[in-house]
Amino acid sequence: MTTPDTTSAIVSAPDGEPTAEPPAFVDDVIAAIDAVEAELGVGQQFFEVTANAQFTNVFVAVDDASAAVAYAYVDGALESPAPKQTGAEGRTFGRDDVDFDPDLIVTGVSSDLPSSSVDAISVYGDGVGATYVLAVTSEAGGFLDIVVGPQGQVFSVDPV
């Protein structure tokens, strides 16, 4: 049995224009947030949501954002929460702050790095909303964190 490639393959079309089919896990970011809010109520604040091909982690801010409770969203279902972790700090964001276009979020990367693959997407609070970071593997095997805008605009690239 062959395991399907669940990362975003970024290839060039015959006309030379890069094309990118976003990985399926991009949609899991919103689905996981919605599942947490269905469980806990609308209006939650989050420290981070990270999705990859295996699962999505959702870190919910609790106790006035001084602690976090992690949830895993796997195969379309929300798992039981992990124990609360105290001592958390950082900026948070809400569901309404997550405004990226799932069909466009990888387009800047596909244009700039046409032979790379997107391995994960993370959403972080930035004090005024949300920041989107794509974890990317280059054709040469290097790893990059790429901060993108909601329409896929590339803002910064950091090697990891």
Predicted pLDDT of residue 69: 98
Task: Tally the domains of the chain.
Answer: 2
Same domain? 84 vs 34: yes
Series of mean pLDDT values for 10-residue runs along the chain (160 residues)? 37 42 93 98 98 98 97 98 96 97 92 90 94 94 95 94
Same domain? 46 vs 84: yes
Domain span at residue 149 reads 96-159
Same domain? 43 vs 86: yes
Q: What's the predicted TM-score (pTM) here?
A: 0.86
pLDDT by residue (tens digit) across 131-144? 999 999 988 889 99
Same domain? 73 vs 120: no
Predicted pLDDT of residue 20: 58
* 79: nearest Cα among 58, 48, 93: 58
Same domain? 114 vs 68: no
* 113: nearest Cα among 2, 5, 6, 8: 8
- CATH of residue 113's domain is 3.10.450
